[in-house]
Amino acid sequence: MPETTFHSLVENLENYLEYQRDEGVQRMEVDRAVLAELARMPDVAPAAAVEVPVAVAIPIPEHFQSLEEIAAHVSTCRNCPLYEGRVNTVPGEGNADSPDIMFVGEGPGADEDAQGRPFVGAAGQLLTKMIDAMGYRREEVFIANIVKCRPPNNRAPLPEEMEACLPYLRQQIGLIRPRTIIGMGATAIKGLLGKTAGITRLRGTWREYEGIRLMPTFHPSYLLRDPSKKKQVWQDLQLVLKELGKEPPPREK
């Protein structure tokens, strides 16, 4: 195609997108193949692929074959506005081969966003201690979040952000098949069970997610604000160990 025709096509497309935005359209579906083609055209990519004035929603496939495929899809995801503020996506990490435990939190904070890894900040250090106290190493469990991009100012993700992101977590759980899930905090429980009942009422009581035993407990960030709740969380973690037929290791003096 002659270059001038091509550029006028791109210009038309931009005008069209700008018009749609002015009409209030906030999201559009664009085939992945089209985006990939645009990204391969160096002199067009900045105009067409980066400065598109509306968020581009790419449908999430229903059957990912691997966690790597999910992470790759997440890394280019623009299905909710959280992509605008992210440095890195945080798909999750750990033992993906039917681990005893999968921990699910809320969403990345500043440290996680900077590193692209879940629970690596202050709450993450506490989570690592909890995992240790149970007799596991971080690499032996899987750690993920309800949303894969950092919400601004560490606010809780909005219902529509959770809805947009949950297909990733659901498919991760389907591929990982953990023996148990520990849902940490109200957002995790709402995302996994759709329950809005308070975490205070739900914690410590077994639930089920797609045939997997799920234990709700408090979020480690909450424990940092109110350490008196650690006792209850330890009770919840012990229930999980019991379910797995394990004992906590003796505490170091």
- Binding residues for ligand URA, rule: CB under 6 A, are 105-109, 112, 118-119, 121, 123-124, 145, 221
Question: CB-wise, 99 or 109, nearer to ligand URA?
Answer: 109
* CB-neighbour burial class of residue 199 (10 A; exposed 0-12, middle 13-18, buried 19+): buried
Distance of CA 41 to the CA centre of its chain: 31
Among candidate residues 92, 76, 218, 94, the one with its CA nearest the CA of residue 148: 92
Inter-residue contact 244 to 179 (CB < 8 Å): yes
Question: CB-wise, 52 or 190, nearer to ligand URA?
Answer: 190
Question: CB-wise, 38 or 104, nearer to ligand URA?
Answer: 104
The distance of closest approach from Cβ of residue 92 to ligand URA in the complex, given in angstroms and rounded to an integer, is 9
Question: CB-wise, 99 or 118, nearer to ligand URA?
Answer: 118
In angstroms, the CA 242 to CA 217 distance is 16
Which value, to the nearest 10 degrees, does the dihedral of the CA atoms of residues 122, 123, 124, 127 take?
130
C-alpha distances in angstroms, 195 versus 26, 187, 210?
Answer: 28, 9, 15
The distance of closest approach from Cβ of residue 107 to ligand URA in the complex, given in angstroms and rounded to an integer, is 5
Question: CB-wise, 108 or 178, nearer to ligand URA?
Answer: 108
Distance of CA 29 to the CA centre of its chain: 21
The amino acid at 85: G
The distance of closest approach from Cβ of residue 34 to ligand URA in the complex, given in angstroms and rounded to an integer, is 32
The distance of closest approach from Cβ of residue 117 to ligand URA in the complex, given in angstroms and rounded to an integer, is 8
Question: CB-wise, 41 or 156, nearer to ligand URA?
Answer: 156
The distance of closest approach from Cβ of residue 46 to ligand URA in the complex, given in angstroms and rounded to an integer, is 32
At a CB cut-off of 8 Å and minimum separation 6, what does 167 contact? 60, 62
Inter-residue contact 183 to 104 (CB < 8 Å): yes
Closest residue to bound ligand URA by CB: 105
The distance of closest approach from Cβ of residue 218 to ligand URA in the complex, given in angstroms and rounded to an integer, is 12
Question: CB-wise, 91 or 99, nearer to ligand URA?
Answer: 91
The distance of closest approach from Cβ of residue 84 to ligand URA in the complex, given in angstroms and rounded to an integer, is 19
